[in-house]
């Protein structure tokens, strides 16, 4: 499959988005400056395409999570936005966590759920049950 997107197609979507939002002067300027010919575009097409792209991004970022959900891991509750980075967020400790490095399975007694952080937490395991985070 080959995906081909032209600047005219993007401009068409933006033009109709501007029209739908009542920004007629801006839409007129875009139409004239880009020399676009009006096309048949469904209402809400730009937003629909952006939402579909965000769904694909969610799938891409959580491809391994979907398998883990079958094993009792909680689903990521982190939000997605067009301009912000995604941070995974979990609301409860999972029943089991597979250790991809050695195949062992950990239970909730093996870890602590950190809550209240407003920034990403970096965690480094040091062995012998010791853990440093920051």
- Ordered structural domains, the chain, with CATH: 1-61 (1.20.960.30)
Whether the model pTM is above 0.85: no
> Which band of pLDDT confidence, cut at 50, 70 and 90, is reported for residue 61?
confident
Average pLDDT over every residue of 58-68:
70
Residue 104: is its pLDDT beyond 80? Answer: no
Q: DSSP per residue over 70-115, as a string? A: TTTPPPP-----SSSPP----SS--S-EE-TTT--EE-GGG-----
Q: For the chain, give the percent of residues with pLDDT over 90.
A: 27
């Amino acid at each position: 499959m080959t995906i081909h997107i032209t600047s005219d197609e993007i401009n068409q979507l933006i033009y109709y988005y501007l029209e739908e939002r009542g920004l007629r002067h801006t839409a007129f300027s875009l139409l004239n400056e880009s020399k676009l010919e009006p096309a048949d575009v469904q209402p809400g097409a730009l937003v629909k395409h952006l939402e579909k792209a965000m769904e694909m991004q969610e799938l891409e970022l959580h491809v391994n999570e979907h398998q883990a959900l079958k094993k009792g891991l909680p689903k990521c509750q982190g939000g997605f936005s067009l301009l912000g980075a995604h941070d995974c967020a979990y609301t409860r400790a999972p029943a089991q966590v597979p250790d991809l490095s050695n195949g062992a399975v950990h239970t909730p007694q093996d870890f602590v759920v950190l809550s209240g952080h407003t920034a990403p937490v970096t965690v480094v395991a040091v062995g012998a049950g010791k853990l440093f985070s920051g």
